[in-house]
A = this chain, B = another copy of it.
Amino acid sequence: MGRKKVKLAWITNDATRRTTFEKRKKGLVKKVSELATLCGVEACLVVYGPQDAAEAEPEVWPSPAETARVATRFNSMPEMYRWRKMTDQEDFLRQRVAKLQDQLRRQDRESRELEVSLFAHEIMAGGRILDDADLNDAMGLVQMIDMKLKLILSRSVSLPKSKLQKPIDLLAADADHDLPHGAGQRLGVLGVCGVAVRGVANRGVAEGSRSDRVSDEEWS
């Protein structure tokens, strides 16, 4: 309803999106209130702000008090009817919760995989500098890597037997056994992270992530 027709798609331009958001949110609230007034019905609207915005407070209509009143209405539903409905929804909810949590775990893992990859790249990028500096303290590098990897990997909880722990073990082994320093070690490190790098490179080129996702089995 403006100068130009707008595609129904995520507005990429940051400023435009924010502006549109505020405008439409306002209009939406107005419409909801109008509907409630004109037709004498209960209605409720909740609009969360952008996830990245510090302001996590959702816009709500009507007032929280009235919102509670609407919620109260839920109570006046006929017992049996309510029970049946709720049972269904409970099932659905359980399913959804499980699914989301599973998904959560996966993404958490992927996120950390990528972090490791990124770290590997940083190491590689910084390699030349270290070469120039005659690294007799390559040992320190390994330890640093170990520490950083552990830091990254320890950020989450339940990853019992994640493949991601392998890099740690390998690095720890390297450090403990005090292997030869220098290029050899750096190569080892890169090798460890190599899989992750490859795993990502794929996704990078893949235009829509299909089911060609990298599975756990491809690690190590």
Q: List A residues at the B interface (Cβ < 8 Å).
A: 6-12, 17-18, 20-21, 24-25, 27-28, 31-32, 34-35, 37-52, 54-58, 60, 67-90, 92-94, 96-97, 99-108, 110-111, 114-115, 117-118, 121-122, 124-125, 128, 159-163, 187, 190-195, 197-201, 203-205, 207-211, 213, 216-220
Contact = CB atoms under 8 A, between A and B. Distances in A.
B17 A38 contact: yes
A218 B8 CA distance: 19
B25 A28 contact: no
Contacts of A201: 89
Given A40-B50, A41-B47, A68 B191 contact: yes
A102 B51 contact: yes
A193 B111 CA distance: 31
15 contacts: A6-B38, A10-B77, A20-B39, A32-B45, A40-B50, A41-B51, A44-B198, A56-B77, A56-B161, A72-B194, A74-B194, A86-B125, A87-B125, A97-B111, A101-B111
Given A8-B38, A104-B104, A194 B114 contact: no
B90 A121 contact: yes
A203 B24 contact: no
Contacts of A85: 204-205
Nearest to A55: B161
A171 to B, nearest CB: 13
Given A24-B31, A49-B41, A118-B97, A200 B89 contact: yes
